[in-house]
Amino acid sequence: MLCYLGNQHAILSALRDLIEQAEQSIVLQMYLFAANGDQTLLLPREGAFPYADTVADWLVEKKQRCPQLTVVVLLDTNTPANPQLTRRKGVLIRQRLQQAGVLVLSANLFDTEFDRRPRWLSAMNFHLHHQQVAESDWVEHQNRWQALHNVEDHRKNLIIDGGRAGLLTSHNLFDPAFDWHENMFWLGGKVAEQLWQQAMVAIRAALLLPQRLTETDRGLLSGLIADSVEPASAQRKEPISPSGRPIPNYPLPLPPVQPALTADPDCALLETRAIRGRIETLIRTAAIGDELLLATAYFSDLPMLSALESALSRGVRVRVLIDSLHALPLPTLPSWLTCSLVNHAVLCEAQSLQQRYRDLFQLRIHQSHAGAMMHLKSVARLGQRPLLIAGQANFTPNSFSGAYLETDIETHSSVVIAAYAAHFEQLWSLPESKPLLTPRGMLALLRIWLCSLLLWLFARAGLRP
């Protein structure tokens, strides 16, 4: 069972619904869980809705009402643990949760794909001597290390009661992202139970690292992993579904109709290294008359663009929607580098594709200067054999290689695919979504040359977007 949510208000409402419905346990895997200004690099955003504190409030209130319920939050170490290092000084989200009895863990990144050889820069060797780092400084050390190796736990999943129901989304619990264009899948049945098992593997790996846990806490987590209690999904026949109830004071409108659950017994969960192969198969099996709708904030994977070119040569229509990345709240220099370089190589090749396949290929860039990023990571094949793959993996080499830990789903559900296609068309038609133009003039060509040179230099240093 699953349904597609493409409205920001509905996504937040679904998070509340699932937390409220939990009876035995809640496990949240989240890349960024931070209030406005509670980051080391990212800047606060003026006027942002308190998204992180809103969800934290629900978790804390649930734990207070049901103290026997086990609540686990597993965070990538891009979410800081030391308030003295953040831009806004104060109690961090992870500290609020810990004080309320929520078990907060740092994700284990040592099984990701990276260069494990000793390096001249000491901070890059953290994986070789992390046992020597004090637990109080551990998060900051791993964060520095993961930035240098470009590895992440990029997952954004919420799952309850042994797999009774779950949420898989592109959306971070991060205040500046409150109005970003996102999608979410409400999951039930077999695929929700698979998501639970994936979370148990992540918790087991996290327990190999220094964590701020008592022996009682460790015992609770060991019991959760052992799965000695029959999953709630096996005890109940009726599936739960999102209610669509509004969130007080949320500044974006709720959709007039709440999507219903739909059945898809073949819905599959895709993890990390398996995602590239399934997307390549989706593209490779597209035939003349089919259309591919691809939406990804980041697109820097040239082999994937080559796969799209092969589809174009077979007569497949392709539309690609990416983001300008200006919505990322970064300081001036990191912002310029990100906006200029991350999607640069693909955009250069895409200009050529637009010239050669004028009737088949289009690429638009969602200009997010106003603050709302197009943050989907989804691709659908429309035609005789519709298929959708969507979730958390951007179209970047690290998202596909195993350097980032990701979760996607693959579904044949015509209802879900139609909902995504409608969402894609809505975003494609926004006035902020601009066609890719051919650069003209010496300044434009000089800028392209400079960006290409910088990308080459970064690649020589082992840094790839």
Q: What is the pLDDT of residues 386-423, one digit of tens each?
A: 999 999 999 999 999 999 999 999 999 999 999 999 99
Of residues 346 and 460, more confidently modeled:
346
pTM value is 0.95
Which of 174-188, 240-254, 340-354, 441-455 bottoms out in mean pLDDT, i.e. has the lowest? Answer: 441-455
The mean pLDDT of the chain is 93
81-109 mean pLDDT: 92
Of residues 372 and 238, more confidently modeled:
372
* Tens digits of residue pLDDT in 193-216: 999 999 999 999 999 999 989 999
The encoded tokens of residue 213 equal 């846990």
Among 191, 211, 210, 26, smallest CA distance to 104 is for: 211
Q: How far apart are CA 433 and CA 282, in angstroms?
A: 25
For the domain 2-235, what is the CATH code? 3.30.870.10
The encoded tokens of residue 36 equal 């406005």
Among 140, 134, 136, 108, smallest CA distance to 207 is for: 108
* Tens digits of residue pLDDT in 44-55: 999 999 999 999
Residues carrying CATH 3.30.870.10, the chain: 2-235, 268-460
Query: What dihedral angle (degrees, nearest 10) is formed by the CA atoms of 421, 426, 429, 435?
Result: -60
Q: How far apart are CA 299 and CA 397, in angstroms?
A: 9
Question: What's the pLDDT score for residue 373?
Answer: 98
CATH topology of domain 268-460: Endonuclease; Chain A (3.30.870)
The encoded tokens of residue 233 equal 């999904």
Q: How far apart are CA 153 and CA 257, in angstroms?
A: 34
The helix or strand, by DSSP H or E, that contains position 438, with its residue range, turns out to be none
